[in-house]
Amino acid sequence: MANYDWIVVGGGITGAALSYELARQGGSVLLLEKEALPASATRYSYGGLAHWAGKTPLLKALGEEGIQRYRTLSEELEADIHFRELDLLLLVAPGYSVETVEADLADCRIPPQRIPVETACELEPLLQPAALEGVLWAQHGHIHPWLTTLAFRRAFQRLGGSLLFQSVTGLRRQGQRITGVETPADFHGAAQVVVCAGGWTRALLRQAGIYAPIYFTHAESLELEPATVRLRTIVMSAPVQRLELERQAAHPDRDPLWDKPGQELCPPILDVGILQFLDGSIRLGQISRVLTDPQAQLDATSGEAQIRAQVGRYLPQVAQLPGRWCHCLVAFSGDHYPLVGSLPGWEGLQLFSGFSSPLAILPALARRFAQQAYGQADEWLPSLSPARFTAPSPPAPSLEGERTRNCLSPLLR
C-alpha cells in the first residue's frame, strides 16, 4: 500500500493539469484514470478557449490569466498542444435578434463585434448566407484537448508523479475523513483525495454516502473523419441554450430527483457548434440531455440525424461528411462556477470538478489550487468553494451578477 500526499481521481484535462501543478509544488501525487483513452468530456471536447467571454471579475481575471498561460504552455510542457487563435463566428439563432444577443454579450471581458453577413462569409466561405440572420465575431483560443492532456500527464510524470490506469471503485472513509481510494486490485492511501471525475463525480461521491451539489448532462456530438474540406473559423450558434438548461436542472426543487434513476429533468436542447482540428477531423454538436442515470442508453441514430440537420442549415458541405456519433457526460454546478476546494463536513476530500467548460480558466485555477494547498493565499478560490452552497459566500465580488449569463463557453468546452 502506497501513501501519497495527494490522490487525484480522474485523468482528463482537469485532473492531469491539477496533478502537474501539485507535483510542481513538491507533493507526492498519484493520478488515477480508468482507461488510457476514455470516452470522456476531454476526449470529445471542442478544445475552445472562450477567454473573452467572462462577465464577472473572477471569470475576467481567470480568462486573461488563462490565455496568457496557453500562449506559452507548449514550451512549458515541452509538447505541442496545437494552440492557436481563430475567428469565432456566433450565428444568431432563429427567434433571437442580433441586437438582443449583442446586448447580452456587451459586458464580456472582450465583447464580440457585430459584422455583416457578407464579412462572415468572407471569413468562412463554407457558410450558407441565406441561413444567417445576424453574426457576431470574436477571437477565440483553441487547443487540441487530448494532446494537451497527454502533455500535462507526461510533464507530471517527469516531475516524479505516478499515473495508474485503474478504475476507482470507491472512497475509503473513517468517520468523516477520507483516507484513500479503492480500486479493483488495491487500496491507495493519501492525506488528500481530490475528485476530478467530471460527470461521474456525483455517482462516485454518492456511493460513499457523500452529497455534493454537482450534476451532469449527457452530451452528444459527431466526430467527422479528416476531410479535404477546410474550415477557416469556429462556428457556433448564440445564445447558448445550455446555460438555461443547467439552471433549470440544478433548481433546488429538482435536486431530490437527481438520485432517482430514469428521470429526464428537462427537455433536451441542441446548440450548434462546428470546429475543425489541425489533423482535418471535425467536431459537430451538440445535444445536451438531462438524464439522471449516468449510464443511460441514448438513440445514436436519432441524435446524429438531429445534429446533421441543424449543422446543414449553415454548412451543408460539412453536415454530410462521414463520421461517428459520440457521447459523454459533462459536469456542472448549480451556479455555472466550478466546485474547487474542501467539501464541508469532510476531511481529506476536495473537489476540482463541476466545470461546464474548463479549458479557458483551467491552467489558472489548477496553479492557484496547488499554490494555495502549499501555503499561498488566493483571492479567488474561496468564492469557488463547495461551501458556498451551504453557507454565506465569502465576501468577494467575483460571484456578483447574473450567474446564468456568465459566459458562452459551455458549448466549446
Q: Tell me: the pLDDT tens digits for 193-242?
A: 999 999 999 999 999 999 999 999 999 999 999 989 999 999 999 999 99
Same domain, 323 and 355: no
Task: Cell numbers for 164, please give them.
Answer: 495508474
Q: Are residues 243 and 318 in the same domain?
A: yes
Question: Are residue 105 and residue 166 in the same domain, yes or no?
Answer: no
Write the Ramachandran bin of 398: left for phi over 0, alpha for psi from -120 to 50, otherwise beta: alpha
End position of a domain, from candidates 333, 359, 382: 333
For a pLDDT cut of 70, what percent of the chain falls above it? Answer: 94
Based on the fold, state whether residues 327 and 377 are members of the same structural domain: no
Outline where DSSP puts E strands in 14-69.
Answer: 29-33, 48-49
Same domain, 56 and 21: yes
- Mean pLDDT confidence for 111-124: 97
- C-alpha grid cell for residue 98? 442580433
**What was the pLDDT predicted at 2?**
59
Shared domain for 295 and 356, answered yes or no, is no
Residue 221, in any domain of the structure: yes
Q: Are strands 187-195 and 349-353 parallel, antiparallel or unpaired?
A: parallel
pTM across the whole model: 0.92
Does residue 307 fall inside a structural domain? Answer: yes
Integer CA distances (angstroms), 271 to 154, 245, 274, in order? 34, 11, 10
The last residue of a domain, from among 295, 312, 333: 333
The pLDDT, as a whole number, for residue 221 is 97
The answer to whether residues 71 and 107 belong to one domain is: no
Same domain, 75 and 93: no
Asked if residue 318 has pLDDT above 90, the reply is: yes
The CATH number of the domain holding residue 355 is: 3.50.50.60
| Count of structural domains within the chain | 2
171 & 310 share domain: no
Sorting pLDDT into bands at 50, 70 and 90, what band is 407? very low
Q: Is the CB of residue 174 less than 8 Å from the CB of residue 111?
A: no
The pLDDT score that the predictor gives to residue 410 is 44
pLDDT digits (tens, 9 = 90+) for 339-376: 999 999 999 999 999 987 779 999 999 999 999 999 99
For residue 412, being part of any structural domain is answered with no
Point out the domain boundary residue: 333, 365, 382. 333
CA 43/CA 358 separation, integer angstroms:
13
Does 321 map to a domain? yes
Q: Measure Cα distances from 400 to 41, 58, 244, 337, 406 in Å.
A: 28, 9, 18, 12, 10
Largest CA distance in the chain: 64
Question: For the residues 180-194, what does the mean pLDDT come to?
Answer: 95
* Alpha helices per DSSP H over 127-273: 145-158, 201-207, 242-249
* Mean pLDDT within 122-135: 95
Grid cell, residue 199, equals: 460527470
- Which structural domain, as residue segments, surrounds residue 380? 3-79+145-213+335-405
Question: Does 413 fall in a domain?
Answer: no
CATH number (domain holding residue 92): 3.30.9.10
- Same-domain status, 51 and 195: yes
pLDDT above 60 (res 393): no
Mean pLDDT of the chain: 91
